Copies of this chain bind each other. A is one copy, B any other.
Amino acid sequence: MAGSPNVFPIGKLSLLLAVLQEHEWREEVEKQLTEQGYKYTIGRVGAMDMTKVVAAMETAAKNNHIIDSNSYREVHAVYHAIIEAIQALGRGVTQFGEILRTVGLTFAIVRGKMEGAVKHEGEWIAVSVYGTIGAPKKGFEHEAVGFGFNHI
């Protein structure tokens, strides 16, 4: 994606939002999101049960009006972006509890324009998750990242 290196594109914004939660840089990230008209939400979920992870993200997108929960098109678009992020998180195995993994995640969902080498019409949705994956024992975990993207 071209443009000024100081203006982040949609995917990078979602990733930084998930990653910089507690850092002072978060302010600048949220400033860009607001000034450029993106809709976004942030949430947290900890679970061994993948259903809870998917539901937490989908519910956050609906309740914070990132998507219109009455529009199946929009639900379909965000759902596939969520599943992509979870596939990335699991790196080859789309399972958590079944293989004794637990996750503790911060997620960020951003919706809006995509500008890069070309300015694309319409809106897009980026889903980023950042957190830990590991055994259900404190400290027996490492960082994990997932990212999904779709047109909406």
Residues of A within 8 A of B (CB): 1, 5-6, 9-12, 15-16, 19, 21-25, 50-51, 54-55, 58, 71-73, 75-77, 79-80, 83-84, 86-89, 91-95, 97-100, 114, 116-118, 120-122, 124, 126, 128, 130, 132, 134-135, 138-149, 151
Contact = CB atoms under 8 A, between A and B. Distances in A.
Contacts of A79: 100, 135
B87 A143 contact: no
A145 B142 contact: no
7 contacts: A79-B100, A84-B91, A88-B89, A116-B132, A117-B138, A126-B143, A144-B149
Contact of A145 (B15, B80, B95, B98): B15
Contacts of A121: 71, 73
A143 B91 contact: no
A23 B6 contact: yes
